[in-house]
Amino acid sequence: MEWKKLGQIFNPTEHKLPNNCVAFAKSPQAIVFEEFIRIYYCSAEYDKSNKILCHILFVDFDKNFSKILRHCEDEVINLGELGSFDEHGIFPFNVLKENGIIKAYTTGWSRRTSVSVETSVGYAESIDNGISFSKLGKGPIMTACINEPFLVCDSFVFKDGQIYYMYYIFGTKWSEPEDGSVSERVYKIAMATSSDGISWERNGKCIISDKIDENECQALPTVIKIGNRFHMYFCYRNMVGFREDSNKGYRIGYAYSDDLSNWIRDDEKSGINLSKNGWDSQMMCYPNIFKVDQSIYMLYNGNDFGKRGFGIAKLIFK
C-alpha cells in the first residue's frame, strides 16, 4: 500500500464553532453524498473544571477536499443527561449510511473518581441526512462485560454480506503507578458481529498482536475491503509518555485479513508515516478510510491528538 498525503484540510481554530467548542477536530469520519463529503469530527468545549467535553460537529467538503461548503450550526447529537454513559462527551462517532438512514455508533464518556473515565458504545440514527441524530435510548448498546471489564469504545461498523462487523477496543488494564502519578489505561482491538447492527456478539479476544510491548495501546480501527482482502488501519502508542514524547506517541498501524477474524499485523506495509516536519510530524492517529467513486482516502489527525485539525491522504498504490 502507498498513500499520498494531500495535507491538512481543516483547522478548527480558524473557524467559529458551535457549542462553545474552541479546539480539536478529532477522529474525522466521512459520509459520501452525491455532491459533497460530510466529515464528522469531535471538537472540544472546556467545562467549569477546565476538563474537555467532546461534541460531534461536521463540515462539508467538495469532492476534491479543496473547498469547505458548509459548517453544522449545532452539534448533531446531545450529550447524555446526569449519570448517563455519555454525559461527559462523545468521541469518536462512527457513521454508516444504509437505506437513506445514517446510523451512528457513539463512544460516550463518563468520568470516574479512581480512574479518569469509563466509556461505552451508544447507537443513534439520523433521518435528515446526518444533521441531527436520535439516540436509541439513554443507555449504551455495548458496555463492559465479563471478559471486557472497562473502556469499551472506538467502534467502527461495516456490513459484509448480511452480517454487521464491529471493530472496537476494550480496556485490559488501568495502571497503578507506585509514585502516585495518574493511572494510565491499556486497550486492545477486538471484533463483534451482529445481524441487526444493535445486538452484538463478542468473545473478549484481542485480534491484533502487539508491536511495542504488552502495554501497547491500540485504538480506532478502520477497515476497508479491496478485492477479497480486508485491510485494517488503526493507531497505537505506548502506555506512558505518549503526550510529551513523540517517540512514544500515536502512530498508524496496519493489519490485513482474508476472513475478518484472523489478522496479520504488518506495519511496514502501511504505506503512511510521520512527515519530516509540519502538522503531522510528531503524531498520527484516528484514521478513517472511505471510498469516493473509485478513489480510496484516509482521514487522520496529526500532532496533539488533532487539536489543530485533520488531514487527508489518497491511496495511490495497492
Give residues in contact with another protein (CB under 8 A): 80-85, 87-88, 110-115, 118, 120, 122-123, 135-141, 143-151, 171, 174-176, 183, 185
Whose Cβ is closer to another protein: residue 175's or residue 238's? 175
In degrees, rounded to 5, the angle at the alpha carbon of residue 107 between the alpha carbons of residues 102 and 109 is: 140
Find the shortest distance in angstroms from Cβ 106 to another protein.
12
Find the shortest distance in angstroms from Cβ 216 to another protein.
18
Whose Cβ is closer to another protein: residue 145's or residue 316's? 145
Whose Cβ is closer to another protein: residue 136's or residue 163's? 136
Q: Which amino acid is at 158?
A: F
Whose Cβ is closer to another protein: residue 50's or residue 247's? 50
Find the shortest distance in angstroms from Cβ 143 to another protein.
5
Whose Cβ is closer to another protein: residue 84's or residue 301's? 84
Q: What is the DSSP string of 6-49?
A: EEEEE-GGGS--STT--EEEEEEEEEE-SS-EEEEEEEEEE-TT
Find the shortest distance in angstroms from Cβ 141 to another protein.
6
In sequence order, what are the beta bridge partners of 10? Answer: 310
Find the shortest distance in angstroms from Cβ 113 to another protein.
4
**Per residue, what are the HEC states of 40-89?**
EEEEEEECCCCCEEEEEEEEEECCCCCCEEEECCCCCCCCCCCCCCCCCE
Q: What is the distance between the alpha carbons of residues 234 and 214, in angstroms, rounded to a whole number? A: 17
